[in-house]
Amino acid sequence: MKIFISADMEGISGVVSMDQINPGARDYERARRMMTREVNAVIEAALEYGATEIVVNDSHDNMDNILIEELNPRAALISGNPKPLSMMQGIDETFDGVFFVGYHARAGTPQAVVDHTYAFRVISAKINGRPMSEAGLNGRLAGHFGVPVVFLSGDQSAVACARMELRDHVGVVVKEAVGRTAAVIHPFEVVKERLRAGVAEAMKNIKNIEPTVEKGSVELEVSFSISGMADMALLIPGAAKKDGRTVIYTARDYMEAFKVFRAMLALSSGIR
């Protein structure tokens, strides 16, 4: 049983503030250890319940947060940035299931720890008219390869977003957000048991969970925080303005839509 893990940081159980998630910030090194510890808990549970091969893609910020010297040696790590498929680098049709660990809610979600969608400059991202979090966007890329998302962990709003955007995966709430930079957090032994139970359920039902697939052409709609970012995204052939800050693009399939989204983010990154 081959498992792909995409691991972010904002949804890790002990993470609540910007001082933890930004490299060089006051509590970042501590957050890296917490992230590595939580990913290890998921790896250990997956191995216990039937996984034979695990690939972990570090998916936060510069994507070199997980401490390889502390990672379970039975997992391979994809680290560093940029990566062509970003948070989903390494996914292909050989995997049996995808786990999203430490994920967060989409931009604009109330009562969610550090809500955003790929970049803070993105106000919203929609696929065929439906608002998406990173779980929805990334889960559809897994679906492009015929692989289902079977597990997700994060705060209650991250789990709620994923339930609206993906098929019947297992969602594990590891902390309860009370604001954008505040949450009820629990001792790690409590969180570890929640994760273990969730992974056990996901592995038990992995064959029964269908991938989330966008068939045919796909309309991508991205709204940015300022109009200049949308203007730069229009450099992509086929992109069109919907309004001053919103760009739409109709792709042949989901892979093309995902790559165009990545290109829009890159083109808009230098605008202030």
Place of tokens 């139970």: 197
Longest dimension (CA), the chain: 51
Fold of 2-105+132-208: Rossmann fold (3.40.50)
The CA–CA distances, whole Å, from 11 to 16, 39, 88, 183, 243 equal 8, 12, 17, 11, 32
CA distance 93 to 105: 27
How much is the pTM?
Answer: 0.97
The CATH architecture of the domain made up of 218-268 is: 2-Layer Sandwich (3.30)
CA distance 210 to 195: 21
The catalytic residue positions are 116
The CA–CA distances, whole Å, from 65 to 21, 120, 150, 165, 222 equal 10, 19, 24, 27, 28
Task: Tell me the per-residue pLDDT of 217-226, one tens digit each, with 9 for 90 and over.
Answer: 999 999 999 9
- Each residue's pLDDT, cut to its tens digit, for the chain (272 residues) gives 999 999 999 999 999 999 999 999 999 999 999 999 999 999 999 999 999 999 999 999 999 999 999 999 999 999 999 999 999 999 999 999 999 999 999 999 999 999 999 999 999 999 999 999 999 999 999 999 999 999 999 999 999 999 999 999 999 999 999 999 999 999 999 999 999 999 999 999 999 999 999 999 999 999 999 999 999 999 999 999 999 999 999 999 999 999 999 999 999 999 98
Domain boundaries, the chain: 2-105+132-208, 218-268
Q: At what angle do helices 188-205 and 28-48 cross, to 10 degrees?
A: 40
Whether the link from the prior residue into 73 is cis, omega within 30° of 0, is no
